[in-house]
């Protein structure tokens, strides 16, 4: 673990495995609630000095961290492929994305402008300033083990906060590598701390109940997010949550079905479908359903599964056996209820894949609201196609979910694009765009997909308090 500027071991440790092969690739310290408390104390002790530094001083350290991450991107991406399983090309893209947050917030730190507000009284002046909220506790996921750390650490440090991070127990090695970069970049002792653990619940409870923690930020499942928010509520901690998704991908009949299918294949199978913005329901207007499915099927058929470090592999392993079972349960439920299976539909066990957690890239159509996959997030390599007839029906079907993170629309009609953007109840909407994300753009969802935003200036303000001064002059 990394606490107060030092790497610490513990009496206990836990192993880290490659999900593609099942082989052990490392071992890390197994922290507990007491270690979390010590890390929080260190962050609290470091807060006043860090918050008191100029924005330019904080920005310089983030700039250096960005430089180091770009310089070491190959090694970091290869580690990610071994630990998380994603293909090397995708891992390199994630390292770049993670570094982007360091660069963006290094720049944005210097733009924390206050404001003056006119008063109705001649003898009064109003001034508004923004100041760091304090110690931040962050819980990050396994599916994007580098960028989801920098997306929280960079704005927190830019704002003048200190932070304690608990990474996912499946990907602690990537987290250690990120903190090695922060240490080398000159982040002062106590400003950024890392607690690795195989039993996250006690650490999460410490984050929620320790009064020194002023903000909790979490990326993960809606179920865990609800529990953390509930535990943090008695102290009225600031909470931001980036939770599950159930993204619709709408293809209207004026779109080119082949072009739309190629886009759907790219974003659906991104990170083997293990992305919160991955489409779960592909809604296609009936008149172009056949050419769309033909193109999508042809694209999926070329996808090669295997170890992420193998040339040509585009489908990596799922995170664990439970994930494989969940995906297969959804597929079999859909087939048993009348869906048509076009490709895949089974775990991959041939040759050298048997030791890993691989599931075949799968295409099903004829999905109906009675099927589990219509309602629940899949988080795996399954494209579920649903036909619709009218624009109104498509919007209603897309909004027929408690989630509200991402949605996609393919159309060449400007009016339809704008009206769809306005009508869809999702925080992120790609219009003929399968990658509507950037460090410079706000990321977050509506409904049970979360609260708050990450990225952009909105992401910085999640770590700031607004202070008003009324001056009698």
Instruction: Give CA–CA dist 348/316, Å, rounded.
Output: 11
78 is catalytic: no
Of the residues 161, 174, 208, 276, only one is catalytic, namely 276
Instruction: Give CA–CA dist 326/330, Å, rounded.
Output: 6
Percent of the chain with pLDDT over 90: 100
Domain 247-431 has CATH 3.40.50.300: no
Of the residues 64, 108, 206, 242, only one is catalytic, namely 242
Q: In what helix (H) or strand (E) does residue 57 lie, and over which residues does it extend?
A: helix 55-71
Which sequence spans correspond to the domains of the chain? 2-243+447-472, 247-431
Q: Which residues are within 8 A (CB) of 239 and not within 5 positions of it... i.e. 6 or more apart? A: 215, 216, 217, 218, 228, 229, 232, 451, 452
Q: What is the pTM of this model?
A: 0.96
Q: What is the pLDDT along the chain (473 residues), one digit of tens a residue?
A: 999 999 999 999 999 999 999 999 999 999 999 999 999 999 999 999 999 999 999 999 999 999 999 999 999 999 999 999 999 999 999 999 999 999 999 999 999 999 999 999 999 999 999 999 999 999 999 999 999 999 999 999 999 999 999 999 999 999 999 999 999 999 999 999 999 999 999 999 999 999 999 999 999 999 999 999 999 999 999 999 999 999 999 999 999 999 999 999 999 999 999 999 999 999 999 999 999 999 999 999 999 999 999 999 999 999 999 999 999 999 999 999 999 999 999 999 998 899 999 999 999 999 999 999 999 999 999 999 999 999 999 999 999 999 999 999 999 999 999 999 999 999 999 999 999 999 999 999 999 999 999 999 999 999 999 999 999 99
Instruction: Give CA–CA dist 6/39, Å, rounded.
Output: 11
Cα-based distances in Å from 377 to 187, 340, 472: 38, 19, 56
Looking from the CA of 407 toward its CB, the CA atoms found within 13 Å total 28
242 is catalytic: yes
Residue 379 phi, psi dihedral angles, 5° rounding: 55, 50
Architecture of domain 2-243+447-472: 3-Layer(aba) Sandwich (3.40)
Query: How many Å is the Cα radius of gyration of the chain?
Result: 23
Instruction: Give CA–CA dist 191/1, Å, rounded.
Output: 14
pLDDT at 351: 85
* Contact in structure between 460 and 155 (CB atoms under 8 Å): yes
* Contact in structure between 64 and 185 (CB atoms under 8 Å): yes
Handedness of CA 33, 163, 276, 91 (dihedral sign): negative
59-87 pLDDT per residue, tens:
999 999 999 999 999 999 999 999 999 99
């Amino acid at each position: 673990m990394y606490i107060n500027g030092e790497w610490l071991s513990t009496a206990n440790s836990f192993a880290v495995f490659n999900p593609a092969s099942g082989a052990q690739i490392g071992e890390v310290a197994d922290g507990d609630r007491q270690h979390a408390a010590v890390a929080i104390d260190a962050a609290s002790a470091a807060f006043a000095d860090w918050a008191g530094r100029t924005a330019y001083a904080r920005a310089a350290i983030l700039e250096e961290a960005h430089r180091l991450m770009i310089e070491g991107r190959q090694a970091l991406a290869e580690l990610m492929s071994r630990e998380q399983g994603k293909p090397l090309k995708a891992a390199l893209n994630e390292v770049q994305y993670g570094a982007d947050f360091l660069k963006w917030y290094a720049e944005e730190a210097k733009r924390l402008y206050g404001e003056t507000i006119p008063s109705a009284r001649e003898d009064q002046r109003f001034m508004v300033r923004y100041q760091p909220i304090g110690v931040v506790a962050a819980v990050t996921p396994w599916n994007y083990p580098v960028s989801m750390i920098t997306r929280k650490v960079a704005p927190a440090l830019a704002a003048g906060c200190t932070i304690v991070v608990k990474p996912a127990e499946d990907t602690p090695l990537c987290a250690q590598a990120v903190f090695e970069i922060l240490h080398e970049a000159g982040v002062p002792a106590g400003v950024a701390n890392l607690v690795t653990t195989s039993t996250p619940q006690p650490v999460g409870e410490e984050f929620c109940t320790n009064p020194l923690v002023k903000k909790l930020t979490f990326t993960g499942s809606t179920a865990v997010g609800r529990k953390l928010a509930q535990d943090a509520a008695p102290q009225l901690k600031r909470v931001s949550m980036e939770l599950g998704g159930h993204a619709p991908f709408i293809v209207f009949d004026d779109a080119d079905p082949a072009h739309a299918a190629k886009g759907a294949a790219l974003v659906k199978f991104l990170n083997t479908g293990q992305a919160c913005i991955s489409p779960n329901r592909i809604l296609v207007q009936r008149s172009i359903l056949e050419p769309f499915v033909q193109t999508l099927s042809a694209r999926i058929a070329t996808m090669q599964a295997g170890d992420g470090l193998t040339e040509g592999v585009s489908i990596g392993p799922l995170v664990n056996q439970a994930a494989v079972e969940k995906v297969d349960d959804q597929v079999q439920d859909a087939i048993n209820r009348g869906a048509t299976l076009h490709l895949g539909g089974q775990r991959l066990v041939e040759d050298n894949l048997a030791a890993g957690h691989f599931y075949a890239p799968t295409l099903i159509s004829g999905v109906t609201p009675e099927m589990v996959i219509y309602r629940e997030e899949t988080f795996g390599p399954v494209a579920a196609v649903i036909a619709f007839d009218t624009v109104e029906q498509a919007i209603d079907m897309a909004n027929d979910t408690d989630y509200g993170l991402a949605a996609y629309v393919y159309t060449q009609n400007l009016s339809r694009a704008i009206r769809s953007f306005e009508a869809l109840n999702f925080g992120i909407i790609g219009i003929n765009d399968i990658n509507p994300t950037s460090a410079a753009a706000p990321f977050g969802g509506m409904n049970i997909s979360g609260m708050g935003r990450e990225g952009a200036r909105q992401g910085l303000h999640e770590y700031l308090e607004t202070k008003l001064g009324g001056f009698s002059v």
